Amino acid sequence: MFFLIIKRILLGFITLIIVSLITFVGTEVLPGDACTTYLEREAYGAALEACYERLGLNVPAHERYLSWAYNVIQGDFGYSLSGQMPINEVLGPRVKNSMVLASAAIIIGIPIALILGIVTALWRDKLPDITISTVTIFAMTIPEFISATLLILIVAIWLEWLPGIVIVPTDVTITELLPNIILPVIAIAMIMTAHMARMVRSSVIQVMSSDYVQMAILKGVPYWKMVFKHVLPNALLPAINVVALTIAWLLGGVVVTEVVFNYPGLGRLVIESISNRDLPTVQALAIILASIYVSINLIADLLTLMLNPRLKTLQIRK
Amino acid sequence: MATKTVSEFKKKNIYFKISEVLVTMASKPSGFIGLSILVFHILLAFLSPYLAPYDFKAIDPSLMLQAPSSEYWFGTDSLGRDVFTRTIMGGRIALTITFFGSLIALLWGGLLGIFCGLVGGKIDDVVMRIVDAFLSIPWILAMLLIVSLLGTSTEVLIPALGFFYGKGIVRVARAATHDVIAKDFIVSARARGHGNLSIIWNEIIPNVRDAILVEGAMRWSWMLLGFSSLSFLGFGVSPPTPDWGLMISNARGLMSFAYWAVIAPIVGLSSLIIGINLTADAFAKALGIDRSTKAPV
């Protein structure tokens, strides 16, 4: 068990190292670099040399990668090009804002997804299932920017219930932020809930058709006791992993949603830094987003391992 | 009496299978709706240049933001362009790019996955680790980076999308290969002295084809979603090309007044994505593949 956890964490680190290599090589191979984009037409001769000198781009690539990686391990991402500010200072409030948005969506989304998933599975192919499943299919297939735009159009413009666009400075406090984020949270939670509800549904259906549940029915275990005692614990375990993968996948959607609502989080920073060709910030963002993905999956793996005694012994025997 | 050659027989068999699958797909209401929407959009993409009542790039300041009327069915946008014309033409680029993108994704993802599943060992370990690493970079960051450094031409977008959406297919193809590799017919093919290439072509591909095709159909809808998101963010096709994502992002600022310029492309894009999704679902069911428990990676 202990070795297994260590192994998972190590694999996560290897993934992060490969991600950093990919982004580094990617920004290296693709035409244009920080200096040519920063100086634009004046990128020649002495000015270019001076810029290379200043940013340390005249050192060979592998040395730059090693020194960059060394600094990143110590928590220093270097300087952003556009703002001439330490990337850590740029990232700090953005990470916090995005965390607030994501956690609000998760706190609202997970219970609703569980309830919807269980209801649709238990009333499979009946009216509640057909209605909810149709709605979830719509919610998960329609692109984030469309559902967000429709939310703004209907709730903010036609009904005038809530503000449509978030207009707050980046370094806003959480209490000031919360009333502003209702619509973005709904937009993200909607898609997330739809995805999770579908997975919970199919997982519950799978368990309901298994032999031991049939056995419990034959033995005359009361229906709801059977559902809560025999079905749900077994159905929700495998769903954890899939849900984790989905949350990670939705990171891309969060970027788009933040742009639609003008929300000062990591997503808008992605767009801004790429538009400005601020490569150091892009590299930092890639590492941060990849670490979020890796850690969510790691937590999900460990959770399943800890909660599932069967899997524990299985892995040790291997 | 002429006897059929083996290849003729195989060909007929494939056509028979395709029509059989199509009939199974259309026999359920959701599959029928999905297929109809998809066929409608494909026809529209081919025919819209001939059906369009106005020039999609004709700018006329005197016609700015007109409400829908008998003359301009869906109204006009902020530059006085006909929204109906731009809406029916708005799916052409998206459909073309994502269709060829999915083909590329299918090809490289499927082949690499089969290869990894077949050889196993160290090569497999290394490739899968790299694929995992690519999976943990959010697609939007990678796509934006490629597009902003290489430009947004079709020649860049198709391979870039194809590459990025193919990495998930690698895992599916690899898993499907693992399922068949231990079966008796592979062992007997080896015993007959067939090489790896022959085994891949004659034994593995026919058995994993369905799983990979279903995955590719699913990727198509995600790729469409990704491509439209790029357009929406201003990193996709460049104006004045009519494209739904771009139209939505342009008309969004004025939607408190000219909601028609937003609604029309929204309906276009949403219906196409739903159509592809329903078709892909029906396709999976018709081939007997359950992918409801899979995460969208």
Please state the domain extents for chain B.
2-296
Distances (CA, A) of A264 to B34, B86, B188: 38, 32, 61
B87 touching chain A per CB within 8 A: no
Measured distance CA(A164)–CA(A183) in Å, rounded = 7
Residue A232 CB neighbour total at 10 angstroms? 17
Residues 168-187 of B with CB under 8 A from A: none
Q: What percent of chain A has pLDDT over 70?
A: 81
What DSSP element (H or E) covers A230? Answer: none
**Contact (CB, 8 A) for B110 and B168:** no
**pLDDT for residue B283 is more than 80:** yes
Pick B295 or A260 by higher pLDDT.
A260
Q: Judge: A274–B295 Cβ closer than 8 Å, yes or no.
A: no
Distances (CA, A) of B33 to A124, A137, B264: 21, 14, 20
Measured distance CA(A134)–CA(B34) in Å, rounded = 13
Q: Judge: B141–A153 Cβ closer than 8 Å, yes or no.
A: no
- Neighbouring residues of B218: CB distance < 8 A, sequence distance ≥ 6: B277, B280, B284, B291
- Among candidates B132, B138, B256 on the partner chain, residue whose Cβ is nearest the Cβ of A15: B132
Residue-wise pLDDT tens digits, A111-131: 898 899 888 888 888 888 888
Residue-wise pLDDT tens digits, A227-272: 888 888 888 877 777 777 777 667 777 888 888 888 888 888 888 8
Task: Round the average pLDDT of chain A to a whole number and report it.
Answer: 78
- Among candidates A144, A146, A246 on the partner chain, residue whose Cβ is nearest the Cβ of B270: A146
For A174, phi then psi, to 5°, come to -65, -40
Residue-wise pLDDT tens digits, A169-183: 766 677 777 777 888
Residue-wise pLDDT tens digits, A190-228: 888 888 888 888 888 888 888 888 888 888 888 888 888
- Neighbouring residues of A225: CB distance < 8 A, sequence distance ≥ 6: none
- Token look-up 């739903």 returns B274
Residue of B38, B129, B134, B137 for testing the chain A interface, max A β-carbons within 10 Å: B137
> Measured between beta carbons, which residues in chain A are less than 8 angstroms from residue B235?
274
Mean pLDDT of A64-85: 74
- Among candidates B249, B256, B297 on the partner chain, residue whose Cβ is nearest the Cβ of A249: B297
**Contact (CB, 8 A) for A149 and B262:** yes
Would you kindly state where each structural domain of chain A is located, as residue ranges? 2-73, 93-317
User: 3-state class of A86 per DSSP?
Assistant: strand
Q: B128 vs chain A: nearest CA distance in angstroms?
A: 10
> Measured between beta carbons, which residues in chain A are less than 8 angstroms from residue B262?
149, 153
**pLDDT for residue A4 is more than 70:** yes
Q: Confidence class of residue A276 from pLDDT cuts 50, 70 and 90?
A: confident
Mean pLDDT of B3-21: 64
Q: What percent of chain B has pLDDT over 90?
A: 6
Q: Confidence class of residue B79 from pLDDT cuts 50, 70 and 90?
A: confident
Q: If DSSP states are collapsed to H, E and C, what string results for B55-91? A: CCCCCCHHHCCCCCCCCCCCCECCCCCEHHHHHHHCC
Residue-level pLDDT at A231: 83
**pLDDT for residue B128 is more than 80:** yes
Measured distance CA(B93)–CA(B243) in Å, rounded = 7
**pLDDT for residue B297 is more than 50:** no
Measured distance CA(A4)–CA(A12) in Å, rounded = 12
- The tokens for B214 are 């279903």
Measured distance CA(A194)–CA(A192) in Å, rounded = 5
Residue-wise pLDDT tens digits, B140-155: 878 887 787 777 778 8
Q: Judge: A22–B137 Cβ closer than 8 Å, yes or no.
A: yes
Q: B99 vs chain A: nearest CA distance in angstroms?
A: 18
Residue-wise pLDDT tens digits, B245-263: 888 888 887 877 778 888 8
**pLDDT for residue B1 is more than 60:** no
Measured distance CA(A302)–CA(B168) in Å, rounded = 23
B273 touching chain A per CB within 8 A: yes
B137 touching chain A per CB within 8 A: yes
> Measured between beta carbons, which residues in chain B are less than 8 angstroms from residue A201?
292
CATH superfamily, domain at B2-296: MetI-like (1.10.3720.10)
Q: Nearest residue of B to residue A29 by CA position? A: B149
Residue-level pLDDT at A312: 55
Measured distance CA(B85)–CA(B53) in Å, rounded = 6
- Among candidates B136, B149, B278 on the partner chain, residue whose Cβ is nearest the Cβ of A15: B136
What is the pTM (predicted TM-score) of this model? 0.83
Q: Judge: B255–A153 Cβ closer than 8 Å, yes or no.
A: yes
B255 touching chain A per CB within 8 A: yes
Residues 98-127 of B with CB under 8 A from A: none
Measured distance CA(A309)–CA(A227) in Å, rounded = 20
Q: Nearest residue of A to residue B223 by CA position? A: A143
Residue of A130, A145, A262 for testing the chain B interface, max B β-carbons within 10 Å: A145
Residue-level pLDDT at A66: 80
Most confident region among A12-16, A54-58, A280-284, B96-100 by mean pLDDT: B96-100
Distances (CA, A) of A232 to A114, A120, A299: 10, 13, 20
**Contact (CB, 8 A) for A169 and A264:** yes
- The tokens for A308 are 């599932």
Residue B153 CB neighbour total at 10 angstroms? 11
- Neighbouring residues of A2: CB distance < 8 A, sequence distance ≥ 6: none
B266 touching chain A per CB within 8 A: yes
Residue-level pLDDT at A316: 47
- Token look-up 């909607």 returns A190
**ipTM above 0.85?**
no
Measured distance CA(B164)–CA(B105) in Å, rounded = 8
Q: Which CATH architecture has domain A93-317?
A: Orthogonal Bundle (1.10)
Q: B11 vs chain A: nearest CA distance in angstroms?
A: 35
**pLDDT for residue A280 is more than 90:** no
Task: Round the average pLDDT of chain B to a whole number and report it.
Answer: 81
Q: Judge: B141–A270 Cβ closer than 8 Å, yes or no.
A: yes
**Contact (CB, 8 A) for B60 and B80:** yes
Q: Residue A201: which of A189, A191, A212, A193 has the closest Cα?
A: A193
Q: Judge: A246–B295 Cβ closer than 8 Å, yes or no.
A: yes
Residue-level pLDDT at A317: 43
- The tokens for B56 are 């999609």
Q: Please state at what angle helix B205-233 crosses helix B244-251, rounded to 10 degrees.
A: 30
**Contact (CB, 8 A) for A87 and A280:** yes
Q: What is the DSSP string of A158-218?
A: IS--S-SS----TT--HHHHGGGGHHHHHHHHHHHHHHHHHHHHHHHHHHHTSHHHHHHHH
B297 touching chain A per CB within 8 A: yes
Pick B177 or B139 by higher pLDDT.
B177
Q: Judge: A15–B266 Cβ closer than 8 Å, yes or no.
A: no
Inter-chain contacts counted by CB atoms under 8 A, chains A and B: 149
Mean pLDDT of A16-45: 71
Residue-level pLDDT at A6: 84
Q: Judge: B274–A245 Cβ closer than 8 Å, yes or no.
A: no
**pLDDT for residue A40 is more than 90:** no
Residue-level pLDDT at B102: 92
